[in-house]
């Protein structure tokens, strides 16, 4: 254990300064050497997930020796033998997953400390210079050992006030992904209500003079976490940072290859892509609901404010899951007052001109511009056009939307309409400037929002344009999808059933239904598509799966 490094990290935290670190998951000790060379305050060597064994863990610890970089080991579970082994190998402390109760935290403290404070046994290993400095190591451990619990469940968050009473607990790390899973939103980084719960727990921790840690999922997120009061900041995991850097470099060069779904060494295209379709969808994606086609004018309608009407075309009323989409009509001069949601919202202007405000930031939208607003941000929309109603396509990351009205004054400032805007957390995509790509023959697509563009958003979506005979391959999704035809006429094929949609008619494609869209007319066809998943992922299957005879679910 490097007592001096631990003391320096504590001093920085006591001064309310951020301490920066890296999550280590790859086996090469060069990763930790790079972290040391970059002057990072800490690394966490992950022995819970991934494939690191104890020989590789000790090499990472050696790479941090005689440095000011604190090296912590995240254990696979709360276990006395694992704690003792990590500390005997020379770790500067431990990170304990899944701490939810006072009993959990007291056991972690006892396992990590020598008697009389704890029950840790004495070993003649690296930590004691092979038994030559046992007395010195015992004394230094008593004063400097780090035991960092990870709060990654609803129960852990609820118990935070009691956990703060446990002696020796000074840093609490949060695991948003597992916290979300425990709240019923597995697969989301921060599901509905989780961000708010973590921030509330963070406030309690800081009020007691203790410190909070969290991993960032982007550079923007990192800055926001500092502003929120987190002080033990993970820049990312080694593999995640590498992937992010590679993809950013590719995006800069104008390339965006498809993510491989397998590690199998092959020169073939990845399975489930247009070049290598699966013979049939995974059986785990067997659908439990039929598709639903809804013509504009026949959906459920609600008056949101004087002159503001929302017609839901996809939502709980037709059994959609985690998604509501529809058309909002604003009469001339109508205003939808400031409100906020506990889920993300995306708005695409179809007709007219509107002014959308997000906590005072004013965006003038032109037809086909999109603004996407993550949960928790207050926003409003007004139709200042001269004499014509404004039409907006709206997407909400829930099947049962609610809103909270906001009576707060926000200082106003106009935002530029000459480029894409990311201010606060919202994102504006200017249609005339947006990057296009092909998703199938004779098609042009734009991504408006997804978790790569906006890490906090729970859904994904964008715009698609189909020329004559433009089409998508037969495919399925692991989530529900809404497709609104805003221009021209589309033919929608679902497992051999054919539908025609136009004039804002909208298809609900439930999870697992094999489908594709094609433009069989001489005029362009355009759509707004929205997925109830954070990334625009699809599994391409053999064309026969979209026929009556080849329907894989019959």
Catalytic residues, which ones? 49
Written as six digits, the tokens of 29 are 């000790």
Q: Could you check whether the bond before residue 116 is cis, i.e. omega within 30 degrees of 0?
A: yes
CB atoms within 10 A of CB 162: 11
Instruction: Say how far apart CA 398 and CA 171 lie, in whole Å.
Output: 34
Written as six digits, the tokens of 47 are 């022995």
How far lies 460's CA from each of 70, 451, 540, 541, in Å?
A: 39, 7, 18, 21
Written as six digits, the tokens of 350 are 């179809």
Give backbone dihedrals phi and psi of 489, rounded to 5 degrees, phi first.
-125, 130
212, HSE (Cβ side, Cα atoms, 13 Å): 26
Written as six digits, the tokens of 361 are 């930031």
How far lies 90's CA from each of 49, 266, 520, in Å?
A: 20, 41, 68
Nearest to 144 by CA among 102, 188, 93, 98: 93
State how beta strands 292-294 and 506-509 pair.
antiparallel
CA pseudo-torsion sign 43, 47, 48, 50: positive
Instruction: Say how far apart CA 196 and CA 179 lie, in whole Å.
Output: 12
Written as six digits, the tokens of 445 are 């697509």
Nearest to 392 by CA among 300, 309, 460: 309
Three-state SS annotation for 401-464: CCCEECCCCCCCEECCCCCCEEECCEEEECHHHCCCECCCCCEEEEEEECCCCCCCCCCEEEEE
CA 459-152-232 angle, 5° bins: 95
Instruction: Say how far apart CA 545 and CA 274 lie, in whole Å.
Output: 14
Written as six digits, the tokens of 472 are 């998508």
């Amino acid at each position: 254990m490097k007592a001096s490094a631990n003391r320096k990290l504590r001093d920085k935290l006591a001064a309310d300064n951020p301490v920066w670190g890296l999550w280590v998951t790859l086996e090469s000790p060069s990763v930790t050497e790079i972290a040391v060379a970059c002057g990072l305050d800490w690394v966490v060597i992950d022995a819970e997930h991934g494939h690191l064994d104890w020989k590789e863990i000790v090499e990472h610890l050696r790479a941090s020796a005689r440095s000011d970089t604190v090296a912590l080991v995240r254990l696979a579970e709360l276990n006395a033998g694992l704690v003792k082994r990590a500390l005997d190998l020379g770790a500067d402390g431990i990170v304990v997953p899944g701490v939810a109760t006072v009993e959990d935290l007291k056991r972690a403290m006892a396992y990590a400390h020598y008697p009389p404070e704890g029950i840790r046994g004495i070993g003649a290993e690296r930590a004691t210079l092979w038994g030559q400095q046992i007395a010195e190591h015992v004394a230094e451990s008593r004063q400097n050992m780090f035991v960092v619990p990870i709060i990654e469940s609803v129960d852990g968050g609820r118990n935070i006030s009691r956990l703060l009473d446990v002696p020796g607990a000074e840093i609490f790390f949060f695991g948003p992904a597992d916290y979300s899973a425990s709240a019923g939103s597995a697969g989301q980084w921060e599901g509905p209500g989780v961000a708010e719960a973590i921030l509330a727990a963070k406030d309690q921790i800081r009020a007691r003079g203790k410190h909070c840690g969290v991993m960032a999922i982007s550079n923007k997120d990192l800055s926001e976490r500092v502003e929120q009061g987190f002080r033990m900041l993970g820049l990312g995991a080694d593999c995640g940072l590498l992937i992010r850097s590679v993809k950013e470099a590719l995006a800069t060069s104008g390339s965006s290859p498809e993510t491989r779904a397998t590690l199998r060494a092959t020169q073939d295209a990845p399975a489930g892509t247009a070049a290598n379709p699966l013979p049939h969808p995974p059986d785990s994606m067997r659908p439990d609901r039929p598709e639903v086609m809804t013509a504009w004018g026949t959906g459920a309608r609600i008056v949101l404010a004087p002159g503001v009407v929302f017609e839901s075309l996809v939502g709980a009323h037709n059994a959609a899951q985690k998604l509501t989409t529809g058309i909002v009509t604003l009469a001339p001069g109508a205003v939808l007052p400031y409100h906020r949601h506990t889920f993300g919202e995306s708005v695409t202007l179809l007709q007219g001109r509107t002014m959308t405000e997000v906590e005072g930031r004013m965006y003038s939208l032109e037809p086909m511009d999109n603004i996407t607003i993550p949960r928790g941000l207050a926003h409003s929309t007004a139709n200042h056009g001269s004499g014509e109603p404004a039409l907006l396509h709206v997407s909400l990351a829930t099947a049962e939307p609610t809103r909270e009205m906001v009576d707060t004054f926000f200082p106003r400032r106009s935002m530029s309409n000459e480029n894409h805007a990311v201010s606060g957390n919202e994102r504006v995509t200017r249609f005339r400037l947006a990057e296009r790509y092909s998703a199938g023959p004779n098609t042009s697509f734009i991504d408006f929002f997804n978790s790569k563009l906006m890490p906090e958003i729970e859904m994904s979506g964008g715009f698609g344009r189909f020329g004559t005979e433009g089409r998508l391959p037969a495919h399925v999704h692991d989530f529900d999808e809404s497709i609104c035809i805003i221009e021209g006429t589309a033919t929608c094929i679902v497992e051999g059933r054919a539908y025609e949609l136009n004039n804002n008619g909208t298809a609900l494609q439930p999870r697992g239904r094999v489908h594709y869209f094609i433009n069989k007319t001489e005029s362009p066809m355009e759509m707004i598509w929205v997925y109830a998943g954070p990334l625009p992922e699809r599994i391409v299957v053999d064309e026969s799966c979209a026929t009556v005879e080849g329907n894989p679910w019959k």
